[in-house]
């Protein structure tokens, strides 16, 4: 009887264990299925240090409607309405410390003032995403009247006009304008517009990058990402983001300028103040408080690019001469006429214009710049260029073979007089150089 009882208890225990085992197995399977479904419907992890708020999907709908911005319940809703698949969104936004691929073409171009400027041109998929954010979100946010860079119907000319005929012009450049705008500030921007923690994180990740180093290990190229993410110089969304983030800076500087009797405008990283001679005594006071405001807004003045120009010397604002009337620098015009003459006589070979990559694009770009300021002079140059092309042909530009699928327009804040097209016009960005 005891043996039978023990045997029965063992069988019951074994059966119970089997039931428990099956329940645990089913529980694990259900959990895995739930996780899989969740991954297909949501994005819950995008890398270290950036995934904390991805579960927070509540947006401030009233604020979004106030700005006339599109409303999304969560990233899944955004995916359906925007046409970007969840897997693509995750791929483009994922924050990796090391990867075998990069979403940017990174290269350097020479600066007019010496040295080189690093450009991060997004590849097609990322560029398309950034362009969507620009057109559907960022372009709907109005910027202040003092902003003239990367804004519809404003240009270097409209930036120079308020300073025409002034006795004193003060020009200040901000150092590393785009790179100084961090991922946290970009994320905070989208949050302030009303988007949820989840969507703000995704938008900020897509619009920023980290410093990247290429490392070759066992014949395999790796991209190592270092430091905090920042606004890349080359993204179509970066100019609009920088203008919105600098809104408070512009508001404070405008108020300060008005209080001290100055006029203030900003074109990207170029700040300009102007006044008449009777305001000479306020220059030092203005400069002191401008430094305080810029530092408080987490920007930095370029130590070598603060200039005070008086009316007895040539005064330029974003490349436009503003002493008596809007004009182009005479010395540069003479050099350009000489260049066109040399090309007409000797052809395109061995001719240069500044540090331009390709002479034809530089020539066309400068003519377009002159056209914005003085159309009559530009028409003469255009006729001359037509004669040159008829005589010597047009040199072939092969840069696109070196950097395939490159971005169409690159916004480079420090390049003022070569940025020659109003925002609503589509322009080949190589004409900038």
In the 8-state DSSP scheme, what is residue 134?
A: H
Predicted confidence band of residue 27 (pLDDT cuts 50, 70, 90): confident
> Which has the closest alpha carbon to 179: 306, 269, 89?
269
Tokens at 179, concatenated: 């790179």
Which one is predicted more confidently, 196 or 404? 196
Predicted confidence band of residue 357 (pLDDT cuts 50, 70, 90): confident
Q: Identify the sign of the CA torsion 138, 144, 147, 148.
A: positive
Unique residue bearing structure tokens 């270097």: 156
- Separation in Å, CA 379 to CA 306, 361, 388, 416: 34, 17, 14, 21
At 39 the pLDDT is 57
At 250 the pLDDT is 97
At 401 the pLDDT is 42
At 432 the pLDDT is 28
Report d(CA 230, CA 31) in Å as an integer.
37
* pLDDT (mean) for 3-28: 88
In the 8-state DSSP scheme, what is residue 13?
A: H
At 25 the pLDDT is 87
pTM exceeds 0.75: yes
Q: Alpha carbon 136 to chain centroid distance?
A: 16
At 202 the pLDDT is 97
Residue 351 near residue 340, CB atoms below 8 Å: no
> Which has the closest alpha carbon to 211: 228, 234, 187?
228
pLDDT in tens, 296-347: 999 999 999 999 999 999 999 999 999 999 999 999 999 999 999 999 999 9
Return the beta strands (E) in 218-262 as ranges.
Answer: 220-230
* Least confident piece of the model among 117-121, 137-141, 250-254, 400-404: 400-404
pLDDT in tens, 195-227: 999 999 999 999 999 998 989 888 889 999 989
pLDDT in tens, 161-192: 999 999 999 999 999 999 999 999 999 999 99
At 50 the pLDDT is 93
- % helix, strand, coil for the chain, step of 5: 50, 15, 35
Report d(CA 33, CA 240) in Å as an integer.
41
């Amino acid at each position: 009887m005891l043996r039978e009882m023990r045997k029965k208890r063992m069988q019951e225990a074994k059966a119970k264990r089997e039931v428990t085992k099956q329940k645990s197995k089913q529980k694990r399977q259900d959990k895995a299925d739930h996780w899989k479904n969740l991954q297909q419907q949501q994005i819950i992890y995008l890398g270290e240090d950036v995934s904390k708020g991805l579960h927070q999907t509540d947006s401030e709908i009233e604020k979004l409607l106030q700005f006339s911005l599109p409303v999304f319940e969560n990233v899944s809703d955004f995916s359906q309405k925007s046409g970007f698949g969840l897997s693509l969104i995750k791929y483009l936004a994922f924050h990796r410390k090391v990867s075998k691929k990069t979403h940017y073409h990174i290269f350097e171009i020479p600066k007019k003032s010496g040295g080189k400027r690093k450009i991060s041109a997004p590849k097609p998929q990322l560029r398309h995403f950034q362009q969507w954010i620009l057109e559907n979100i960022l372009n709907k946010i109005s910027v202040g009247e003092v902003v003239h860079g990367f804004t519809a119907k404003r240009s270097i000319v409209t930036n120079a006009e308020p300073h025409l005929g002034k006795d004193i012009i003060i020009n200040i450049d901000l150092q590393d304008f785009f790179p100084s705008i961090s991922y946290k500030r970009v994320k905070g921007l989208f949050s302030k517009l009303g988007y949820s923690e989840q969507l703000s994180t995704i938008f900020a990740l897509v619009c920023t990058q980290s410093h990247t180093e290429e490392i070759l290990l066992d014949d395999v190229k790796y991209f190592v990402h270092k430091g905090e993410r920042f606004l890349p110089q080359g993204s179509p969304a970066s100019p609009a983001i920088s203008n919105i983030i600098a809104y408070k800076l512009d508001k404070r500087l405008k108020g300060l300028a008005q209080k001290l009797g100055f006029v203030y405008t900003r074109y990207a990283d170029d700040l300009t103040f102007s006044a008449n001679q009777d305001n000479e005594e306020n220059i030092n006071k203005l400069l002191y408080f401008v430094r305080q405001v810029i530092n408080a807004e987490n920007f930095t003045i370029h130590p070598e690019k603060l200039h005070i120009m008086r009316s007895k010397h040539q005064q330029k604002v974003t490349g436009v001469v503003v002493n008596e009337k809007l004009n182009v620098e005479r010395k540069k015009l003479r050099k350009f006429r000489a260049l066109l003459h040399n090309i007409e006589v000797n052809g395109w070979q061995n001719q240069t214009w500044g540090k331009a990559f390709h002479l034809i694009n530089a020539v066309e770009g400068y003519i377009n710049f002159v056209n914005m300021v003085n159309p009559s002079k530009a028409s003469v140059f255009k006729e001359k260029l037509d004669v040159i092309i008829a005589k010597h042909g047009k040199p072939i530009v092969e840069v696109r073979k070196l950097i395939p699928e490159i971005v169409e327009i690159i916004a480079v804040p420090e390049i003022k007089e070569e940025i020659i097209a109003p925002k609503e016009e589509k322009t080949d960005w190589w004409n900038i150089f």
